[in-house]
Copies of this chain bind each other. A is one copy, B any other.
């Protein structure tokens, strides 16, 4: 299986290469980069010393699957040509996640270059849409915050155990989620020993989460979503506050999540009382869930943890590739998280 990566020097691009480099069935034959074309990969990332990967901005060669790890807007411009060549396209960006291109244009403040392709894309969250992914040519790999949030919420909404309002997602991410680009707020000394909220009420993952929750609930869902920056490299933890319907208790919620994921290799509802930590997922494709029904307030609290670069990006993309090509879903993704 021949594989290419567009945007190979970003954090998700590099993580894709790390995983695919070890994948028994994948051979990485193309690493696209506009900024570093012509350089060897180890010039950018010296820990790849001894590998023979080179960066190119030439036309994508014949590959079976291409991962696009690029800023939003660019993949939409290039997708049609690639799909016409029969290349499976797994987009780690946002261009094909929102079914409604106007919503995309409103939140991303740019025109969508190929809205007609949206109907051909599938939202690549395997635990929810495994069947639809198989055989597709265009996979919209979910965002990191949506992955963490949806794994916890979708089964509960599908079973109508919780109301669709209020749903409050208070999410916290390591800094790699902001990408490799430099900026004053990402200077080490301004992030370290610091914690803050950002994009309050305006983060672009909001409509992506709402779209999927609305689909699950079968009615329009609006959420409060607040992301925060944690002084660490990797990991997302989402703390979610929901209102169960009258008569719904903790065991109903727990059983629903347990059933939803009992066959899943990567999603773990932890034993009662054990709360997820982002480090459980560090360097792995695993996700961890826990919940509690708070008798005092009648609300339930859900916590979900993933590695934002793996289950929240590159690992999930490889999981999607495995599904596309009929491979075992865990191939190349078997490792447990690093501890400590």
16 contacts between A and B (CB under 8 A): A21-B336, A46-B271, A170-B226, A174-B193, A174-B195, A176-B189, A192-B233, A193-B233, A193-B234, A194-B235, A195-B232, A195-B237, A200-B275, A223-B297, A224-B294, A241-B241
Determine whether the beta carbon of A18 is less than 8 Å from that of B336.
Answer: yes
Stretch at the interface among A64-72, A91-99, A282-290: A282-290
Q: Give A182's nearest chain B residue, CB to CB.
A: B182
- Asked if A47 and B281 make an inter-chain contact with CB atoms under 8 angstroms apart, the answer reads yes
Let me know if B277 and A196 touch, CB within 8 A: yes
A166 interfacial by beta-carbon distance below 8 Å:
yes
| A168 contacts across to B, CB distance below 8 A | 168, 170, 241, 299
Residues of B within 8 A of A22 (CB): 334-335
Q: Which chain B residue shows the least CB distance to A232?
A: B193
A11 and B200 contact, Cβ closer than 8 Å, known pairs A182-B184, A184-B182, A192-B192: no
Structural contact, B172 and A195, CB atoms closer than 8 A: yes
Q: Which residues of A contact B (CB under 8 A)?
A: 11, 14-15, 18, 21-22, 45-51, 165-166, 168, 170, 172, 174-176, 180, 182-184, 186-198, 200-201, 222-224, 226, 228, 230-235, 237, 239, 241, 265, 268, 270-271, 274-284, 286, 288, 292, 294, 296-297, 299, 301, 303, 305, 334-340
- Compute how far the CA of A22 lies from the CA of B333 in the bound complex, rounded to whole angstroms: 10
Complexed CA–CA distance, A120 and B191 (Å): 41
Decide if A292 touches B200 in the complex (CB within 8 Å): yes
A223 surroundings in chain B (CB, below 8 A)? 297
CB-nearest residue of chain B relative to A310?
A: B338
Report yes or no: B47 in contact with A286, Cβ–Cβ below 8 A. yes
Neighbouring B residues of A296 by C-beta, 8 Å = 201, 222
| Cross-chain contact A340 with B11 (CB below 8 angstroms) | yes
CB A14 to nearest CB in B, in angstroms, measures: 6
In the complex formed, the residue of B with least CB distance to A50 is B268
Q: Are A239 and B170 in contact (CB under 8 A)?
A: yes
Is A233 in contact with B276, judged by CB distance below 8 angstroms? no
Query: Given A49-B270, A188-B188, A193-B279 in contact, is the A172-B224 Cβ separation under 8 Å?
Result: no
Q: Are A200 and B233 in contact (CB under 8 A)?
A: no
Q: List the 9 closest A-B pairs by CB distance, nearest first.
A: A47-B280, A189-B340, A194-B279, A196-B277, A170-B170, A188-B191, A49-B268, A201-B294, A175-B188
From B172, B191, B235, B305, contact of A193 by CB (8 A): B235
Q: Which residues of B contact A187 (CB under 8 A)?
A: 180, 182, 186-188, 340
A187-B182, A200-B301, A233-B193 known; A239 vs B268 contact (CB < 8 Å): no
Contacts of A49 in B (CB 8 A): 268, 270-271, 288
